[in-house]
Every structure is written in C-alpha cells, then in structure tokens.
Amino acid sequence: MTARIDHAVVSGTFSLDGETHQVDNNLWVVGDYSQCVVIDAPHDVDAILKIVGDRMVKAILCTHAHDDHVRVAPALRDVVHAPILLHPDDRPLWELTHTDELWDVDLSDGQEIRIAGTTLVALHPPGHAPGAVCFHAPELGCVFTGDTLFQGGPGATGRSFSDADLIKNSIRDRLLSLPDDTVVHTGHGDDTTIGAEAATL
Ligand SMILES: [Zn+2]
C-alpha cells in the first residue's frame, strides 16, 4: 500500500442563517503518486489543485454541504472531471449554495471507496448536518470527520439543519466504536484521536 495523506489549510467564509464568518478549512487529499480523492472542496480551486498536483482525481468526497466545504466542488469537478459524492440528506444545505447543479453520486453508510490500494469507509453520523459523513481509513489508522468531531468535542449544532442530541448519539454509535488510537483529521483546526475525545465526551 502506497497511499499517503496530503493536507492544506484554505481560508474563506462560511455563511448560514444570515451570518457570515471567516473560516480556515482543512483540505485532505488521500492517494498515491498517480491518483487521489479530495475530501471537501473549500473556497479555492487553485489551492486544491496545488495539493493534487498532476494526479488524477477519482472523486470529490463531501463530509457535508455547508458552503465552506462545497462551494467550489462544481468548479473543481469541471477542472478534474471527477464525480462529487454527497449524502442525499444534505440536499437542503447543498441547495442553499448551488441552485442550478447537483452532486453526482449519493453516499451511504458503509459505502467503501477504493483509492491507491486502500479503502475509505463512509460513516453517516448525522447531527452537525443531516447528511454528515465521515471517512474512515482503517489501513491508514485515521478518520476524516468533517465538522462532526473536533479536537475538544462535537461540531456546532446551533444553526439550521443541526441537531444537538442527534450528534451526541451519532458520535457515540459511529465514531467512538473506532480504535482509540485512530487519528481524527477534522474539517477545521488540529488533529485529535478517538481515545482523547472519548475520554471527554
Ligand atoms: Zn459545517
């Protein structure tokens, strides 16, 4: 297995419920020297292409459809000719950002995405967003949690389409069952581990 993880921080804005905030998003790219998948499409196509390099992008995987995670997904698709994957329960959020184009493939819980000789398993823990998805990479010992789990606890649930009770149950059922030493690569901010977050939840 030659899969590796590349990372960048991309800055822009997040808007919902009539408010706009400045945000720094983590961009995660999983692949090898020739092909990769991009996890989320934050803010800036050129910044994403810089991390991708000359590799073939096999898929654009969306952890959820908040605009800071999907705003440039269609523009990136146009350049790299890869499908956008999103859980269909996030359609109401997607349509707040993209009114005239959709994603390509629905994500579902347990779905496996093969890339560079390794596997990402889609986990569906709703709460931060109705269609929130995390991508567990068992062979890489990590999980990409989007905004569902951060260093310090669950993602925000104060805005529309979020559910505070649901996210706690989702994290317990879908994420805390992963091995304690699983590295958590988040949508914003620093890494953590499942064990560290389990201890404080
Ligand atoms: Zn979010």
21 alpha carbon – ligand 1 mean position (Å): 12
Residue 34 Cα to ligand 1 midpoint, Å, equals 30
**With contact defined as beta carbons under 8 Å apart, do 139 and 5 qualify?**
no
- Reported as a single tens digit per residue, the pLDDT across 147-188 is 999 999 999 999 999 999 999 999 999 999 999 999 999 999
Instruction: Specify the pLDDT at position 1.
Output: 64
The letter for the amino acid at 33 is Y
pLDDT level of residue 198 (50, 70, 90 thresholds): very high
Q: What is the DSSP letter of 47?
A: H
State the distance from the centre of ligand 1 to the C-alpha of 32, rounded, in angstroms: 28
* 1 Cα–ligand 1 center, Å: 31
| 182 CA to centre of ligand 1 in angstroms | 22
pLDDT in tens, 88-134: 999 999 999 999 999 999 999 999 999 999 999 999 999 999 999 99
Distance 2 CA to ligand 1 centre (A): 31
Nearest CA to 80 out of 132, 36, 114 is that of: 36
- The predicted model scores a pTM of 0.97
In angstroms, what is the span from residue 128 Cα to ligand 1's centroid?
Answer: 7
pLDDT of residue 84: 98
Distance 33 CA to ligand 1 centre (A): 30
Span 24-38, mean pLDDT? Answer: 98
**DSSP helix/strand/coil, 199:** helix
